[in-house]
């Protein structure tokens, strides 16, 4: 999916060891449809060559304020006007200080003065340099001037130190760029999403559950919120941070999630049932820990059916939201998905083949096939972050088509 199609990104590379990652960053930006132009400081060329960046970007690299050929047409002003986004990565302590001071003593700092395009800064430096009060004050100055500060990450550094100061990884910066250009076009739409597993207690210390990590549901919630939707995330027990601008409702069992879903459904335009809900629960929950008994090699649990959350929402007769279900299958995916679509009265179902290695539960990637009564569409293998964006777009298209 070309999430950056038509976007013009000026990548400014300064002299830090993280400059070697800029070839990968450029490739990934172009892969998503962006046009990338490169400006390098003289010190950046000690870490990665202009020839490399020219080959990766497909454009000549600019590196001098005094290039007679470029400056005959005021090349630095032309570049400054060309960009939709200026991304400084890596942004060293020196570059940050010079920009904060308003200096224009090389091509890159001059461009930052001459552009009225937004500028994103990806700091990259030793942890002590990053923590230094001068650097922190310079970053605060840039933030007050509406620069976007992306990072840094924390971890082991090239010098052997450990701490904050690592440049964000190329894909993290790509995602920041995608988020930056994401249109806030869903501000009038309310979306409720269930995510993660449920836990069905056996006794005070044991429960039945499944392998769902919640990553897909959280990615969908994040994608919807970034487009301005009002998102309620009804979550089972997971180890994930709540996406920004998302209201989270924590639940544990299927019955708790069912109650939260029914409370939310009639107040939302779209309901997406992404959680992996246990179909059955123990008929009785022991009040004390169940002990092994001498001579007994078996234990029998009697299970009863849990409420069907997505079918309950789809079955509402008043204030029913556009209802989306998920089907995790291991065989005959279309047959089972369409059967569930019809049987549960859904508007759309997202099916995935969890028998394929690296897909579905606990993975960072997935592939989906969407089915609705009049058609279908495949969403090929992608990260769950990207898939969440694609899926929200498809759901909104189907929702709007049904409205008309």
Q: State the binding site for CTP.
A: 279, 289, 307-310, 326, 340, 344
pLDDT for the residue 73: 45
For the stretch 264-288, pLDDT in tens is 999 999 999 999 999 999 999 999 9
- Could you tell me the pLDDT band of residue 71, with boundaries at 50, 70 and 90? very low
Q: Do the beta carbons of residue 173 and residue 214 sit within 8 Å? A: no
Query: What are the helix (H) ranges across 3-159?
Result: 22-31, 50-57, 68-71, 75-82, 93-100, 107-114, 127-131, 133-144
Give the predicted TM-score (pTM) of the model: 0.75
One of 22, 112, 159, 274 is an active-site residue; which one? 159
Stretch among 32-36, 62-66, 153-157, 303-307 having the lowest mean pLDDT: 62-66
Q: What is the pLDDT of residue 156?
A: 81
- pLDDT tens for residues 289-344? 988 888 788 888 999 999 999 999 999 999 999 999 998 877 788 899 999 999 99
Q: If pLDDT is split at 50, 70 and 90, which confidence band does 69 have?
A: low
pLDDT in tens, 80-129: 899 999 999 999 999 999 999 999 999 999 999 999 999 999 999 999 99
Confidence of residue 70 (pLDDT cuts 50, 70, 90): low
pLDDT in tens, 213-237: 999 999 999 999 999 999 999 999 9
Q: Are strands 85-91 and 8-13 parallel, antiparallel or unpaired?
A: parallel
Query: How is domain 8-181 classified at the architecture level of CATH?
Result: 3-Layer(aba) Sandwich (3.40)
**159 carries an active-site annotation:** yes
Pick 50 or 75 by higher pLDDT: 50
Q: Which CATH architecture has domain 190-288+299-403?
A: 3-Layer(aba) Sandwich (3.40)
The predicted structure's pLDDT at residue 1? 64
Dist CA 63 CA 67 (whole Å): 8
> Rounded to an integer, what is the distance from CA 372 to the centroid of its chain?
25
Cβ atoms of 399 and 372 within 8 Å: the answer is: no
Structure tokens of 19? 């400059």
Task: Please give the annotated binding residues, written as ranges.
Answer: 279, 289, 307-310, 326, 340, 344
| Domain boundaries along the sequence of the chain | 8-181, 190-288+299-403
Same topology, domains 8-181 and 190-288+299-403? Answer is yes
């Amino acid at each position: 999916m070309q999430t950056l199609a038509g976007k013009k990104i000026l990548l400014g590379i300064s002299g830090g060891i993280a400059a070697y990652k800029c070839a990968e960053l450029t490739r990934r930006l172009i892969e998503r449809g962006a046009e990338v132009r490169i400006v390098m400081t003289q010190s950046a060329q000690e870490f990665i060559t202009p020839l490399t960046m020219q080959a990766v970007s497909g454009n000549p690299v600019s590196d001098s304020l005094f290039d007679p050929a470029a400056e005959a047409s005021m090349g630095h002003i032309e570049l400054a006007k060309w960009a939709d986004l200026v991304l400084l990565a890596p942004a060293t302590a020196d570059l940050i200080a010079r920009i904060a001071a308003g200096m224009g003593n090389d091509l890159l700092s001059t461009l930052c003065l001459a552009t009225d395009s937004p500028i994103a800064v990806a700091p990259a430096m030793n942890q002590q340099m990053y923590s230094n009060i001068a650097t922190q004050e310079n970053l605060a100055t840039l933030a007050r001037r509406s620069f976007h500060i992306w990072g840094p990450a924390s971890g082991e550094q090239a010098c052997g130190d450990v701490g904050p100061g690592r440049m964000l990884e190329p894909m993290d910066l790509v995602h920041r760029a995608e988020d930056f250009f994401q249109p806030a076009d869903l501000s009038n739409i309310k979306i409720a999403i269930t995510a993660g597993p449920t836990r069905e207690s056996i006794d005070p210390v044991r429960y039945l559950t499944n392998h769902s990590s919640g990553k897909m549901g959280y990615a969908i919630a994040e994608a919807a919120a970034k487009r301005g939707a009002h998102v309620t995330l009804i979550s089972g027990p997971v180890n994930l941070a709540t996406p920004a601008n998302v209201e989270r409702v924590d639940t544990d069992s299927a019955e708790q999630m069912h109650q939260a879903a029914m409370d939310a459904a009639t107040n939302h335009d779209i309901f997406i049932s992404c959680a992996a809900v246990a179909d059955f629960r123990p008929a009785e929950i022991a009040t004390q820990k169940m002990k092994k008994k001498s001579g007994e090699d078996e234990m029998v649990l009697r299970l009863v059916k849990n409420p069907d959350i997505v079918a309950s929402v789809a079955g509402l007769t008043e204030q029913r939201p556009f209802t989306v279900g998920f089907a995790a299958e291991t065989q005959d995916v279309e047959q089972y998905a369409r059967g569930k679509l019809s049987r549960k009265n859904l508007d759309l179902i997202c099916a995935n083949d969890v028998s394929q290695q690296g897909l579905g539960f606990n993975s960072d990637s997935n592939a989906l096939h969407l089915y609705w009564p009049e058609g279908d569409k495949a969403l090929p293998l992608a990260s769950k972050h990207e898939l969440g964006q694609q899926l929200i777009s498809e759901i909104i298209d189907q929702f709007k088509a049904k409205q008309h």
